[in-house]
Structure 1
Amino acid sequence: MAHLYVIAGHGAGDCGAVGYGYTEAERVRALASRLSTLGGGNVTIADMNRNWYADNGIMSLNIPKDWQILELHMDSNVPSVKGGHVIIEEGYSPDKYDTALANFISSFFPGRAEKIKPRDDLANPWRAAQRGYSYRLLENGFITNSGDLNKFNGQMDDLARGILNAFGIATASPAKEDSDGKVTSGGTSQDSVQHYGKVSYQSHIRDIGWACWQSDGRMSGTTGQNRRIEAFRLIPVGETDVAVHIKDVGDKEYKNISKGTILGTTGQNKRIEAIKIAGKDTPYIYRVHQKNIGWTDWTFNGNWAGTKGKGLQIEAIEIMAAKFLVNPHVQNRGWLGERACENIIGITGHNLRLEAFKINPLNIEIKAKAHIEGIGWKDYGMVTKDTVIGTTGQNKRIECLCFDGDFEYRVHVKNSGWTDWTKADGVSTLGTVGQALQIEAIQFR
């Protein structure tokens, strides 16, 4: 019997593939949790708040060499494509676990031509091989295929048991517990000091009650302790409406709130699962830390953060006034839609170039320059929400960027990863010139 070390793919702001309202990062974390519950002490779950590809985590991993690493993913394509398979590093022969897992997953999610696919273009299989770990990546069907997704969601325990059986791990029915599980020790708690600022907020936390006020993007709540947020209060900056999705209640709206408005419930043991904040005078951005998912992307004024109908509690929140919005245009994906600038703007880990982007500066001044493949430097001056920085329809990569504004930024460059954070001073540049390396993503703060 093996000991299984499970890595849930993507995360930490990277949602992975998307289909039918679900994200790959959230779904594989739900599966990882079931593997842990059903596999007991024979399963160790890697930190699900991390992105193990982006932060190069395997290269610093320190686990016994006889443990078996399994990285969970779901694939995406056109809706008709389906099936699951196992990926291993090119040049290595599949072992008995790879073979057993491939036989199971190809029967559970049929449709692939190859049960086991050796590849030499993925970072984590190569990293694990360099470290001497036994590793395989499992594609659990296609999130973009309704049949695969419905089976994944509806038969998750069967899927988890089949995976565990491939590694010789016996499974047992879990003991009944509270609907949100037991509170655990460790993890991270919010600051125990009151912090008031431009945007201030306070959470009512399971078994703790009302915690200290936090502000301007500071964490309110806990992570890693399985403590639900049951309610929160927000000191509005101008007229503000809030909606929350509450266990057994559903959506509840609060119009033109005040500091004393309790957003949610207290004394009823009901978790908040999603929130929506809309400021009419000051636009907000906010994100939530949700059970089995971790931190969501920053969400802009009037949109839902969190998930509804999946029974997942919000454990922490962060709220602040919006700085500006960015809409990226990515190779083969097109325009992805406006998002808060604090998010990852673009896609990392898929070798997709950032071809263009638009900045909605809201109420601040931003100047931009870009070095574009085959064009060179182009100065866009003061940008507006309609300024297209880069090109579309020409298959040209953005190679280097320069900004002038009251913020810092960093870029993700092919083969190099993230640069250091740099002040947008109108002089400093990030990226490369003359090396034919594409920028894949940007992030601002």
Structure 2
Amino acid sequence: MSDKKVTLTTHYDDKETSVDLAVLFPTLGRPVVDVRTITSQTGLFTHDPAFTATSSCESKITFIDGNEGQLLYRGYPIEQLAEKSNFLDVAYLLLFGETPSASERETYRQEIEDYSLINESLKTFFEGFHYDAHPMAMLMGVVGSLSAFYPDALNIRDADTRRKTALRLVAKMPVISAAIYKHSIGEPFVYPNPKLGYTENFLNMMFSRPNQDYEIDPLAARALDVLFILHADHEQNASTSTVRLAGSTGTNPYAAIAAGIASLWGPAHGGANEAVLKMLDDIGDISQVDKYIAKAKDKNDPFRLMGFGHRVYRNFDPRATIIRKLCHEVLAKYGSDPRLDLAIKLEEIALKDDYFIERKLYPNVDFYSGIIYSALNIPVNMFTVMFAIARTAGWVAHWNELVTTDHKIGRPRQLYTGLTQRNFK
């Protein structure tokens, strides 16, 4: 908080009104103007479609500096966490503010193991979905149904209940996701193995079969772990804002997370890495790359290069910088897909071409994550589910932060441009 103010002078209804608005200073980032008193003092609302210039909440979880290409979780640079930590510890950091001590880690890991099992009656729930239903539709439905299994989660005032809710979601999300995949291919569900780590367990539940052994590749497990860290949170994006808005009503937290999944499903949000693979399929062959680069530069051509540039970052996406090296390691081992050769060629051009450099159109995390998932034989329609597994940690952290602070139910205003009042005859 600060005693600094800005003065806004309005001319409205034949009168002039001067309003002093407080300037709030964050620990990092740009100051914000507190406009909460504008309506009471002037009778006017502010108008900010898509909330691109609006601070919707106060948060201590994640900080992004788009100009500098900086991403911090609880103050820690994403580069350090990806190199030195693991996803489960990063999830703990997001949820509770600090990385776990040795004793806390042991208790936490045991809780994750205990909560990873899903209710057996959920098997019949899966049977209600057609085999080719979109995995995100199934994920949204199954996670939402957890509200019926855990009605106690509505007791959001109780710290122990909130902790159980948070850890249940982090623990169950990969189990539910793997079960969705198994349902889609008609194979039996695989139970979590307490001897395996988080990403190793997920790979085992995805790809092991009762009639054959499955060997978990450490490189694949590490690649997924890093991707989960990079996708764990990203400040007030669309899906996180959705979780916060739903959570502000006091709804069951599982329902709030299901709402976040619905938001993430949109192709402009979590579906971006799917779009990268579709683009590579459209290009088809390395011989066509120059043609499509020219199309991308033509403002009158509807073709767009997917996986380049970012809404927030005006520099290189720091997550892409991290995953690029790992992506090439994965490709060196698994790269037999022609799409992967195409991706390397596009990356090479984008990093050297003045058109892309001037416009800051660097490959982003979606560009590399889709390639890695493809190399690891994860189906394209499961890509957004992978995103949801990781982002659950951030969603729950934001939900917990919201319900443990003084908040009001979210209620945006609108600029009405419809018909004026008229009489019905």
Higher RCO structure (Cα 8 Å, ≥6 apart): 2
What is the TM-score normalised by the length of structure 2? 0.25
- TM-score computed with the length of structure 1 as normaliser: 0.24
Higher strand content, 1 or 2: 1
